[in-house]
Amino acid sequence: MPAGTAARPGRGGETRELILSTAERLFAEHGIAAVSNRQVSEAAGQGNHYAVGYHFGTRADLVREIVRRRGTAMEQLRTRMLDGITDAADLRAWVSCLVRPATDHLASLPAPTWYARFVAQADTEPGLRRIVVDEATATPSMTRALEGLFRLLPDMPENVRQERADMCRVLVVHMLAERERALQEETADPGDVWEATARGLIDALVGLILAPVMTVR
């Protein structure tokens, strides 16, 4: 902040939120590499073209903050779901904890939403993918959900567990992005799409997890 400039209460937080919302939308629409920090600042109505760097630092820091902004709500939803599991042998209950925090959160946001497509874009950027994976999936509740799930499959080799966990993540990320796109393009029923998507993904993930493991001789 320039010397002699007094900060107005709340303005910094409002500006940060505006930049995060704008960056999420632009990254979802155009891809992260195609959007400069200056474009984000201009689209957010900031006269200072360096507003993104001032408030967030690097591009990686901005991406991390967008993920954390949504991740907090999803972490809370997943924790409540985990605490409500009454049958530890119910595979669908554990799989639901991988899916419904995201679909329920997206359903709670004003339309159109952009976060699912933002995550899908970030997932394809080599320099940013690790940030997205760590922030969105390497959380206490996600770790707990995966441990509970794979506890039901004690004979599954560790490398197969990891591979199927990766498959589950990719399927959820890109299916949510497709559904979000369909909602914006008005090719999906807005009243049912997130619930239907959750059910479909849970069915598919259960089948994927339980698929036979081929033994290579």
pLDDT of amino acid 2: 38
User: Is the CB of residue 63 less than 8 Å from the CB of residue 24?
Assistant: no
Structural domain harbouring 14: 10-57
Count, in order, helices (H) and strands (E) of the chain.
Answer: 10, 0
pLDDT of amino acid 138: 82
- Residue listed under structure tokens 């004979």: 155
Residues 78, 185 within the same domain: yes
pLDDT of amino acid 67: 95
Contacts of 123 (CB under 8 A, 6+ apart): 129, 132, 133, 170, 173, 174
pLDDT of amino acid 7: 36
pLDDT of amino acid 50: 83
For residue 215, with 0-12 CB atoms within 10 Å meaning exposed, 13-18 middle and 19 or more buried, which class applies?
A: exposed
Residues 103, 40 within the same domain: no
pLDDT of amino acid 106: 96
The series of mean pLDDT values per 10 residues for the chain, 217 residues long, is 38 85 97 94 86 91 95 96 96 97 96 96 91 88 94 94 93 96 84 92 97 77
Residues 90, 173 within the same domain: yes
Residues 28, 112 within the same domain: no
Residues 52, 74 within the same domain: no
Residues 47, 124 within the same domain: no
Residues 185, 130 within the same domain: yes
pLDDT of amino acid 56: 92
- The count of domains in the chain is 2
Residues 107, 44 within the same domain: no
pLDDT of amino acid 103: 97
Cα–Cα nearest to 194, from 203, 185, 182: 182
Residues 149, 203 within the same domain: yes
216 found inside a domain: no
